[in-house]
Amino acid sequence: MVVVVMGVSGCGKTTVGRLLASRLGWMFTDADDFHSPVNRNKMRSGQALSESDRQSWLAALRAHISERESTQQHLVLACSALTKRSRVSLAERAQDLRFVHLVGSRTLIRQRLANRTQHFMPPLLLDSQFETLETPDTALTIDISATPAQIATQITASLGQGPVSD
């Protein structure tokens, strides 16, 4: 199984994803690690990525998902997956892939971004992320006002992986 923890920058994808993977004993991957230097520099300079900018990134992520599935390794992937097109691309050829959409107010996420250091995604791109976001119809949607531990508990319960205490 592959669980994609998705949402706008600053919603907690990496924090929740790492915790979830640790609890489940699964592999964790951050999709940010798959961005090209060109794409990182583009975002760092305050420019949002275009669909064409995302194509090689999505292809690399699809290959990573396929590799994990071919070795029967479960995976938690932290990935923005903001557009339907991106989600369809990630799920292409996947055997068992599920999306978890972390949602929160712009105010809360702005506060989180203001406290984040050493990340290539500047807070000024948050509005473009919300504008790009196409809310998924079938994802498990979880409010980020809960703690990461509580969110991980909600996800494990929804996946049928059994109750996990906070």
Whether 72 is covered by a domain: the verdict is: yes
**CATH number of the CATH domain containing 85:** 3.40.50.300
Q: Would you state the structure tokens that stand for residue 149, as one six-digit string?
A: 């531990």
> pLDDT band for position 161 (50/70/90)?
low
Mean pLDDT of 47-74: 89
Whether 166 is covered by a domain: the verdict is: no
Q: How far apart are CA 132 and CA 21, in angstroms?
A: 27
CB 6 within 8 A of CB 99: yes
Whether 76 is covered by a domain: the verdict is: yes
Tell how far CA 100 is from the center of its chain. 8
CB 113 within 8 A of CB 153: no
Whether 81 is covered by a domain: the verdict is: yes
Whether 144 is covered by a domain: the verdict is: yes
Whether 164 is covered by a domain: the verdict is: no
Considering its fold, how many domains does the chain have in total? 1
Say if residue 102's pLDDT is above 70.
Answer: yes
Tell how far CA 106 is from the center of its chain. 17
For the chain, give the mean pLDDT: 88
Radius of gyration (C-alpha) of the chain in whole angstroms: 15
Higher-pLDDT residue of 116, 17: 17
Q: Would you state the structure tokens that stand for residue 29, as one six-digit string?
A: 């991957």
Please enumerate in sequence order all residues whose Cβ is within 8 A of that of 106, keeping only pairs 6 or more positions apart, or say none.
126, 127, 130
Q: What is the pTM of this model?
A: 0.87
Which pLDDT tens digit goes with each residue over 113-157?
877 666 555 566 778 889 889 999 999 999 999 999 999 999 999
Whether 50 is covered by a domain: the verdict is: yes
- Per the structure, the complete domain to which residue 137 belongs is given by 2-158
Higher-pLDDT residue of 77, 39: 77
